[in-house]
Structure 1
Amino acid sequence: MIRWIAAILGYFLFRLPGAILGFFLGSLMDSMGSGFGARSVFQDLSRQKVTPADFELNLLSLCSIVIKADGQVSQRELDYVRQYFLQTYGKEKANAIFRTFNEVIKKREISAQRICEYLNQRTRYEVRLQLLHFLFAIAQSDGSISSKEIEKIREIATYLRIGKIDYESIQAMFVKAADNAYKILEIDKGASDEEVKKAYRTMAKKYHPDRVNTENEAIKKGAEEKFKEVQKAYEQIQRERGI
């Protein structure tokens, strides 16, 4: 009813354009009055938010991609993920997540790129860094990280829009190589003592758990672990240089 009244008023004021605009606005008021329009708006807004279940299922999906990266499903890696979820979320919630996940993967193929695009729109960069750390921890849980696992995690890092230096810093925490401590602090071995101290302060601030603004306990724990690795790297360089 309102739409027609608004259309008539619009016509008298602005002729045909006014009638069209009045009809449109009146229709919107009608729908909101019935409750349908209001529900539609809130439903659209709700889709922009990540519920814990959304995040956890996407996290579990990425875990499964890494576990299957080398063509062998390691029981130790599976156990690591399961224990991590059980310790983090409790038995009841963790089992519910696994059940839902099993139902989902039966219906569709898991796309790392699609999952990462979803997470990019809804999570901060610091959270995605912790997520990458968690994926490396899974790959290492069976005692070693294969080249195919590294390749897959690097691909996921690209989808998550993780910078090259940040990626190399996190990889250095798990893949042992020369000058790892410097890579973790994102500096060259030739850096001065003052540059080393400055790098440590920057990295400690960057990876401090308080900067990870998320309710997800798994990611919070990952932040704490990474923060400890930064501290270890700095202490190692201090010992080597006698700082």
Structure 2
Amino acid sequence: MNSPVATSMILDIAFQPIVELASGRVYGYEALGRPRTSGGEALSIGVLLAQARAAGELLALDRALRRRALECIVRCPRDPQLRWFLNVDSRCADSPGYSPGYTRRVLAELGAPELQIVIELGEQDPLLDRERLAAMYPSYASQGFSIALDDFGAGHATLSRLVEVRPQFVKLDPALVHGVADDPMRASLLRAFAGFAAEAGIVLVAEGIEREEDLTFVLTAGIPLGQGYLLGRPAPLDRAA
């Protein structure tokens, strides 16, 4: 492929359920890019995003993935109370032509302005993301979207960033969640953070739940939402749990 956003590439989207742990009800879905070549060969989304950025096409790819996800959602109507978690690469803020409002425009074109959208923003570059996120978070919030801070507890997502951004949702990184039932230090940390989040009005999502033991711990710790293979694998929306 000469271009990371070549027309021969097919942008499939898989949806992974985010589950309300106390009831087992599906609270929402995260849209995950699953690109492939026209010949059916799977492509790594991480590698593809890196290639797109190097080629100056990151904004185009990011927007194409979001549009494709929204098209899938509109074609497969579900409970209007469901939240739809869409990833936005914070590095798009550096791209020529970047401007707020794209997601709202697509929703209007598709006739679905009422969809409950949660914008997931994470940090890829510790030196630049402070300024990027400082601009992106209020912009999305002003458009009526909920905001999720992704990958919290790993990489560069820090407590100071949490206080600055004040998102509605925080997604706990799988590195904190997987195996927590067997690790007293991580268990203490998650219990303490669950108490803080409840007091601050932040909804926690525990990512990477793959074991029954970890699911039991997360539930008893007071973390309301969970995501992971034990609760549901990514799948096309018409086959998603």
Query: Shared topology, TM-score over 0.5?
Result: no
Q: Which one has the bigger helix percentage?
A: 1
| Higher gyration radius (CA) | 1
TM-score by length of 1: 0.28
Higher RCO (CA-CA < 8 Å; seq separation 6+): 2
- Greater percentage in strand: 2
